[in-house]
Structure 1
Amino acid sequence: MKFTEEQDMLRDMVRRVAEEQVRPLVAEMEETKRFPEELVAVFGDLGLLQMWVPEEYGGPGGDLTSVCIAKEEIGRVSLAASTLCANNSIGLILPLLHFGTEAQKARYLPEAAHGRTLSAVAITEPEAGSDVSAIRTTARRDGDSYVINGQKSWITWAAQANYMLLFARTSVGRGHDGISVFLVDTKTPGVRIGRKETKMGRHGSPTYQVFFENMRIDADCLLGEEGSGFKACMRILDLNRPSVAASSLGLAQAALEESLNYAKDRRQFGRRIADFQAIQFKLADMAMKVEAARTLLYSSTQEIDAGDTARLTLLSSMVKCFVTDVAMEVALEAVQVHGAYGYSTEYPVERFMRDAKLNQILEGTNEIHRVIIARQLIGR
């Protein structure tokens, strides 16, 4: 792929930051599952936390391709840390840019531009995962306020976030209609953070249950029109899903690199295992998949950045599904190339395998994305 000079410079800078600032934290993140809060200042000072804030509001004015470049490079070192890069895009910046009023943009975007603001997205519920229309959390209008009650689950950064993008039902019944979206200060009375989930991977990127108990918020916390939240959700996720793929691409690249290095060093039967055709075929397949994933990702982001959004939903689902599947496949093969050492925490490939799985599930399972792709193709 052909990138601009600025994008090449961004890649070089983020790669250095990932090696110098992120890699030393990985072992502790794995052992203690601690949120690396020191990276907030590191990423914020470099504009990586707030990449999508427009220049007119004091931000770096990044685009989707630039966000993906940064998340790929950090993903090579730590998938968990890569989720912090451009953290507030989906939970704050993109919703405001696409659905916020000028007053809301003026209120929140300059704050985000300072590079210390974290956000969380509260969509998923115990019985509303892939089926967003099943949301039960309610927002009842009461004069100049909304009163919100309900529960959310699997909310990343909930305990650390300054703001939460909250999806709630403002009219009775089920279905897509009647879901609204609110931007909520997490210090609002009535927000209660529940248990921290114990996860197989992506340690250091904490996930929580969240409860809303008669939480009262001002009516101007509503983004867009009442009842238009599902449409807002789909648009925001379409724009963000390629960045999920970018993190997975970085992981896949790291798995390939680790496998190449190991295969050239490890000797069996008097030869490097890289000299055996069985290993060569694995490495070749891994490399082809990584290169195909990179080409699909960046050809898609460049098309979207050019302003052509006719295929946004199709490309977003294709990229998210294909690249995250590739990352899982390459991570599994990396473990196999390493043999018994691949199962040991002495080498990073077992972490790659555990981390890779989650991105096949979050922001729509890859089965759901195959449904979306098929429906886009046949015109539904």
Structure 2
Amino acid sequence: HDLPEPVWAFIKRERFFAMIIPENHGGLGFSALAHSNVVMKIASRSITAAVTVMVPNSLGPGKLLLHYGTEQQKAWYLPRLADGREIPCFALTGPNAGSDAGAIPDSGVVSYGEFQGRRILGIRLNWEKRYITLGPVATVIGLAFKLYDPDHHLGEQSELGITCALIPRDTPGVRIGQRHFPLNIPFQNGPNWGENVFIPFDWLIGGRERIGQGWRMLVESLAEGRGISLPALATGAGKAACRYTGAYAAIRKQFSLPIGRFEGVQESLARIAGMTYQMDAARLLTLSALDIGEKPSVITAIVKYHLTERYRKVINDAMDIQGGSGICLGPSNLIGRAYQAIPIAITVEGANILTRSMIIFGQGAVRCHPWMLQEFRAARQSNQRRALQSFDEALLGHAGFMISNLVRCTTLGLTRGRFSSAPGKGKAKRYYQRLNWMSASFALSADIAMMTLGGALKRKERLSARLGDILSELYICSAVLKHYQSNGSPAEEEALLTWACEDSLYRMQESFRGLFRNLPWRPLGHLMRWLVFPSGQPFTEPTDRVGGAAAGLLLRPSASRDRLTDGVYITADPAQRVGQLEAAFRMAALAEPIEKTLRNARHEGLIKGKRIDDLAAQALEAGLISQQDVELLQRMEALRAQVIGVDAFDDLMSTAARDTERTSTSPSNPAKHDEEAA
């Protein structure tokens, strides 16, 4: 129930815990893109290893030290974190504070105490934390707590706010609990406690100057980290499903045909391909923003929520396609662990329900509005004359902004976005024009919702969630178009572009419908529906033809398939299931025309039978295929048998086998056997 010791040693030696630590502190100094690519590749091979590596590089002591630590703290801890001498964890969540992290009951009190034989002014801590990744093996604990100064040692304030500290594991009063076991994914995770733990102020991250700034430190760090690790894990799972399950669907046969030929399977394959294309596009666009120094908290919330939700759908589809081979765990099962880990990705770094209903739209609605924040600031000014002047200016600007959006929304709605300015050409340009329409509609709808509902919109979480969904799909669809053009607008990827854009546009339309239908004042909902969709609701889910074309990209070797799955674990090792899949997939493409010849000959009555070797022998005798073709089919069948095989374990059978052997013997004394059974 752990990574093997050689893997732990490799992670430390190769500084996987130090991807974000600069080189001058002994780290790797990776960009957000490089960091994401590493996590993505590891996730396609081992979810346990990916989680182990990504947590110290996301919200953890390393990131907090880099941004807020003192120079002395950086000089001591960063090199030790980089080379693995220290293993970090960060303790935020507790039994009574999960999504509402600001309600943590864990406390620190400013007081005098003994430290290393001296009486000093410091902090006495008490805490209880759970679900802490790497907690059971951590040597240093990053801790968030509320700091109090009831005796006013530091000033007049008694409640100083959330503060962060670094606590060595061996500090007196620290207790590490037994491990949690999250859904049979054996990464290190568990609770810890502190009882009357006395620490000096030097152990506060950033020292005394950062007292009370812990919440801002955590939110700013999370705004960056949640845009890298979990989106990378989700995209890695999607790419793995494209590569591995797509190959399986091309190899596995039922009713004498590869299962990928059946439209029901193609429907699932199309979702796998299209959603993975969306995930990779959104991931890359977000990383480009992070790498130029932006901290787009709303966008990172979007990719955390929507990429992990698409991960859920993609892996569920992959499990449906793989059937029995997907549910039998073992080294040959390439998607089973990814399936088990879905709720973990959904839950951590901001639970998805909370992220969708309260953060994506609610976090940025006022701050992103060009006039509303100015109106609020004007209303709070102490000088009444200046306040009225500022408010009137902001209100006038707001009115003009709203009228502009109203005219733009109506015009674009009547033309369905046609004639609006847009980059690109062909299909891509038309999708940009539709995004212009949806963007104007979103701006008007958000303004109307905020003005009519006011503060109640925050409590109308489902309305806020739908507005967030529209904003999210605008971002994802924009990312898809940029990704397509960055790839050179290849014609063979047009099916992926079409599927991804039509899926996003349909989701936007349905979110608008849900928003308008549930506005408290129904006439306003009817009016908004007419303003946004004056000529009806044109968007539908991707067509069967588009879905079939998207699915087809996963069933044949091609440059587009390689681009879509770039970054996942691939090997030619025939002892590994990935290597077997790769070899069988390439062989299936070569064998397909020969198998088609056999099917046609059988249909015409030229050959008879069901077994492939019998059909091949008859076809060879009839001169329909060559000896080389027969040998290729034989190799293909051997590879197919490997790929559809599943793992079985003797040690799981030993007890049951003994019981079966004992009870299967004909009893000479039935009563005795009944007694033994009892």
Normalised to the residue count of structure 1, the TM-score between the two structures is 0.85
Partners of 2:346 and 2:14 lie apart in 1 by 29
Match of 1:101 in 2: 70
Work out whether residues 282 and 303 of structure 2, in 8 Å CA contact, stay in contact via their aligned partners in 1.
yes
Match of 1:278 in 2: 264
Q: Deviations over 1:76-96 (max 9, x none)?
A: 011110122254333221101
Does residue 123 in structure 1 map to residue 92 in structure 2?
A: yes
Q: 1:84-112 CA deviation, whole Å, 9 max, x = no partner?
A: 22543332211011111111111111222
Assess, with a 3 A threshold, how the Cα gap between structure 1 residues 342 and 110 changes in structure 2: closer, same or farther.
closer
- 1:122 shift after superposition: 0.2
- In 1, Cα distance between the equivalents of 2:54 and 2:18? 5
Is it true that 1:44 corresponds to 2:30 in the alignment? no
Please tell me whether the aligned partners of residues 64 and 243 of structure 1 are also in contact (alpha carbons under 8 angstroms).
no
Distance 2:274 2:294 in 1: 28
When structure 1 is superposed on structure 2, of 74-83 and 368-377 the one drifting more is 368-377
| Aligned partner of residue 181 in structure 2, secondary structure | coil
Based on CA coordinates, which of the two structures has the bigger radius of gyration?
2
Amino acid at match of 1:218: P
Report the counterpart of residue 229 of structure 1 in structure 2: 214
Match of 2:140 in 1: 163
Change in CA separation of 1:256 and 1:204 when aligned onto 2, cut-off 3 Å: same
Alpha-carbon distance between aligned partners in 2 of 1:150 and 1:197, rounded to the nearest angstrom: 18
More helix by share: 2
Structure 1: how far apart are the matches of 2:194 and 2:300? 31
**Deviations for 1:162-194, whole angstroms, at most 9, x for unmatched residues?**
211100111399xx9711111111111111112
Equivalent residue in structure 2 for 1:207, among 189, 214, 229: 189
Q: Does 1:332 align with 2:295?
A: no
- Give the whole-Å Cα distance in 1 for the aligned partners of 2:164 and 2:76: 17
In the TM superposition, what is the alpha-carbon distance from 1:304 to its structure 2 partner? 1.2
Residue number among 28, 43, 47 corresponding to 1:79 in the alignment:
47
SS of 1:379's equivalent in the other structure is helix
Alignment of structure 1 residues 3-14 onto 2, 5 Å: none
Question: 2:334 matched to which residue of 1?
Answer: 348
Contact 1:181 1:222 in 2 (8 A): yes
Distance 1:91 1:198, change over 3 A: same
CA change 1:325–1:221 in 2 (3 A) is same
Cα deviation, residue 322, structure 1:
1.3
> Match for 1:118: what amino acid?
I
Partner AA of 1:234 in structure 2: V
Output aligned runs, 1:31-70, within 5 Å: 33-70=1-38
Tell me the distance in 2 between the aligned counterparts of 1:100 and 1:77.
34
Does structure 1 retain, via aligned residues, the 8 Å contact 2:56–2:88?
yes
Residues 228-307 of structure 1 aligned to structure 2 (within 5 Å): 228-241=213-226, 242-307=228-293
Separation in structure 2 between the aligned mates of residue 65 and residue 218 of structure 1, nearest angstrom: 38
Tell me, yes or no, if the aligned pair for 1:119 and 1:162 is still in contact at 8 Å. Answer: yes
Q: Which is bigger in relative contact order (C-alpha 8 A, separation at least 6)?
A: 1
Secondary structure of the structure 2 residue equivalent to 1:280? helix
What is the aligned partner in structure 1 of residue 61 from structure 2? Answer: 92
Q: Closer, same or farther in 2 for the Cα pair 1:367/1:263, shift >3 Å? A: same
| Mapped contact 2:55–2:133 kept (Cα < 8 A) | no
SS state at 1:49 partner: helix
**Counterpart check, 1:197 vs 2:183:** no
How far 1:223 sits from its partner (Å)? 1.4
Cα distance in 1 for residues equivalent to 2:54 and 2:308: 19
Measure, in 2, the Cα distance between the counterparts of 1:377 and 1:138: 30
Higher mean alpha-carbon deviation, 164-173 vs 141-150, is at 164-173
Is the 1:91–1:165 Cα contact (8 Å) retained in structure 2? yes
- Aligned counterparts of 1:97 and 1:341: Cα–Cα separation in 2: 45
Q: Is the 8 A contact 1:40 1:49 kept in 2?
A: no
Structure 1 residue 210: Cα displacement: 0.8
* Amino acid of the structure 1 residue aligned with 2:27: G
Listed as ranges, the matches of 1:302-317 within 5 Å are 302-309=288-295, 312-317=296-301
Which residue identity is paired with 1:95?
Answer: L
Unaligned runs of 5+ in 1: 1-32
Query: Residue 132 of structure 1 corresponds to which residue in structure 2?
Result: 101
Structure-2 change in CA distance of 1:170 and 1:117 (3 Å): same
Indicate if the aligned counterparts of 1:138 and 1:149 stay in contact, CA closer than 8 A.
Answer: yes
Instruction: Report the Cα distance in structure 1 between the residues aligned to 2:253 and 2:16, rounded to whole angstroms.
Output: 41
